[in-house]
Amino acid sequence: MNQTAPQPKLHWDIFCRVIDNFGDIGVCWRLALNLAQRGQTVRLWVDDASALSWMAPVGAPGVQVLAWTTPFESHGVAPGDVLVEAFGCDIDPEFITRYTSNLQARDQAALWFNLEYLSAEDYAKRCHGLPSPVMSGPGRGLTKHFFYPGFTSDTGGLLREPDLLSRQTSFDRATWLGAQGVAWTGQRLVSLFCYEPAGLSALLQALAADQVPTILLVTPGRAAAALHRVLDEELGFQAMFNRDKTLSFFYLPTLSQTDFDHLLWACDLNLVRGEDSLVRALWAGKPLIWQLYPQADDAHHPKLGAFLDWLQAPPSLRHAHHVWNGVHPTPPWQPTAQLISQQQWPEWQATCLAARQRLLQQHDLVSQLLAFVANTP
């Protein structure tokens, strides 16, 4: 469901500090692109735009990328109508001073959002949309609003392009795989985009022991490094591992966001990490296993539990997530029966498709942002 009421054409300033090149900047670029596709003008201020060279190599009409430097350099531009602080970053006081002056001159209310991290935990719906009065500094007297992405109608929703479903419908799996150089003749396809998951060794052993030929499509960076480490240090000395060559590996180059979507659409199981890729895997509608960013105090465990509750994950899918993320205690893992056996996959597929259908009945994140802005006096 998308809101189709006419929206005012505004200038947006999105600020992003990069912690994880594939996460923070990925979400912010999709947000900027989605706004521009709906007629908005966007400046994306980022302290490290290097990942955009492959993530969005051709840029996008209506989106300007500016270096967010220290000390702050305004590049001679005035603040726009809407400010977005992504993931708790603080906009420089020089910019806020000019923004405040512009609002006072026009006698307008602030359109200033703190875009938070994605979570299925209860606090997301409790805090979504709450005002946050600015009590000090150059923005004193203005009000920010918390904007929480989420999986339910009482949150800010998820990023989704208006043409997403039509692009998926017209996607040609074989053609795309051939263009990547994948020699696909009907093998099962599994994507690997991960950190260093606890269950990687067990997964590889299960895939190799299974009778169904599998190609593991490996993304560059930490996923490829984790795979090499497990193959070299844990499985390389096991004579029986992959004896029949049932499991093969294809190492992908860096992919644009468009081609990353295509990867998820092409695969039969998607192993994804972080926020942006989880959302894209949900839209793909294929079975998925999500790895959260691991935290020393295990704060990611309740976050995973909340997501699995929302997903209405069956026991086998919940179990696979626990093993993949190193959640303990967990029952002993039977890799083939619990993760790789295709007897489980139809149930996983149905679960993910039902979740996607629930999401499609809700307003997407950009539609909600635009509606909030339009309804602000």
Q: What is the DSSP string of 178-211?
A: HHHT---SS-EEEEE--S--TTHHHHHHHHHHSS
Q: How far apart are CA 53 and CA 372, in angstroms?
A: 32
User: Does the annotation mark 24 as catalytic?
Assistant: yes
Structure tokens at 211: 């009778």
Out of 81, 261, 275, 276, the active site residue is 275
Q: Which strands, in side-by-side order, build the sheet including 247-251?
A: 247-251, 214-218, 188-192, 269-273, 288-291
Out of 24, 85, 259, 276, the active site residue is 24
User: Does the annotation mark 48 as catalytic?
Assistant: no
Count H helices and E strands in the chain, helices first. 15, 12
Q: How many other CB atoms are found less than 10 A from the CB of residue 73?
A: 12
Rounded to the nearest 10 degrees, how much is the dihedral formed by the CA atoms of 310, 311, 314, 319? Answer: -90
Q: Which of 125, 152, 122 is nearest to 362 (CA)?
A: 152
E strand or H helix at 143:
strand 143-147
Burial label, 28 (beta-carbon count in 10 A; 0-12, 13-18, 19+)? buried
Q: How far apart are CA 198 and CA 230, in angstroms?
A: 10
Q: How many Å separate Cα 22 from the centre of its chain?
A: 9
CA distances from 255 to 22, 56, 131, 261, 310 (A): 11, 9, 38, 9, 30
Just list the catalytic residues. 24, 275
